[in-house]
Amino acid sequence: MKTTKKNKQSSMNPSAIMSLGVFLGIVALVHLLYQGIIRPFADAAIAAYGSGATSNLWVIFKDFEQQASVSIGLFCAFLIIYKYQRIVFHEEPLFTMDYLSAYDKNEALDVNKALQELEQSAYAENSSMSTWIDCLRRYKNTQNVQHASAAINDSVDILAAQLESGNSMIRYFIWAIPSIGFIGTVRGIGSALAKAEEAVSGDISGMVDKLGVAFNSTLVSLVISIILMYLLHVLNNRQDEMVINTQKNCEKHLLTQLHK
């Protein structure tokens, strides 16, 4: 831990370039999937079964609103999975680590030496070690353990706020996906009303098709939103655990050393 190399992996969010690249890749992949598989299969089902094909899975997914919902949903899932793996593989291994394990626990801690070592560590920007650094800095300035303990609370509060604000884009996408579905509903109902005259004449196929657009877009968007809400719930629980464990780790290994 005496290296001067800083941790470049400290961010919980993917870079703007990575996010843009993944988003464009998902949009292109979903578009190819729709053009090559979903819409041809849906057209074949409609040709074979007519209005009876409304419950066919390919027909349910065939419209542009569903394509947009699927694309945004996959990108949102990528953001959640990226954050989750950052916590599991980069943050959690440090939760219970005693960064000052090399120091004799029976002797008073050399605060200046310990602070310098932590600040030069490769993990200095990690949320766990940064809490230790804030605590030691406060103790160095005040020589008061209670003030050092308050610094831990302040640090984890800031961490919790940063994690919460970092999920704002995910929450926006989860809100936007049902809205896209409602747009499809309005478009489908409007198109169905335009086919009312044909339905009165006995040809209901056009109206059924447009009503299918209305209901299917809402159905698909709501299902995707429910799945994403569950994934976000899992992520939030893991983030809360990270905040709690960061505080416990600092209090267990550092504050006890400062009390000596």
Span 216-244, average pLDDT: 93
Q: Tell me the H-state helices in the chain.
A: 16-33, 39-49, 57-61, 64-86, 111-119, 127-142, 145-166, 168-194, 196-200, 205-250, 256-258
Question: For residue range 157-216, what is the model confidence (pLDDT) as tens digits?
Answer: 988 888 888 899 999 999 999 999 888 888 777 766 666 555 556 555 555 666 666 788
Half-sphere exposure of 239 (CA within 13 A, CB side): 23
Structure tokens at 25: 């890749």
What is the residue type of 152? I
Question: For residue range 89-112, what is the model confidence (pLDDT) as tens digits?
Answer: 888 887 778 888 877 777 778 888
Q: State percent of the chain over pLDDT 90.
A: 32
Structure tokens at 132: 């230790």
Using N-to-C axis directions, what is the helix angle for 205-250 and 145-166, rounded to 10°?
170
Query: Which of 54-58, 59-63, 136-140, 199-203 comes out lowest in average pLDDT?
Result: 199-203
Q: How much is the pTM? A: 0.83
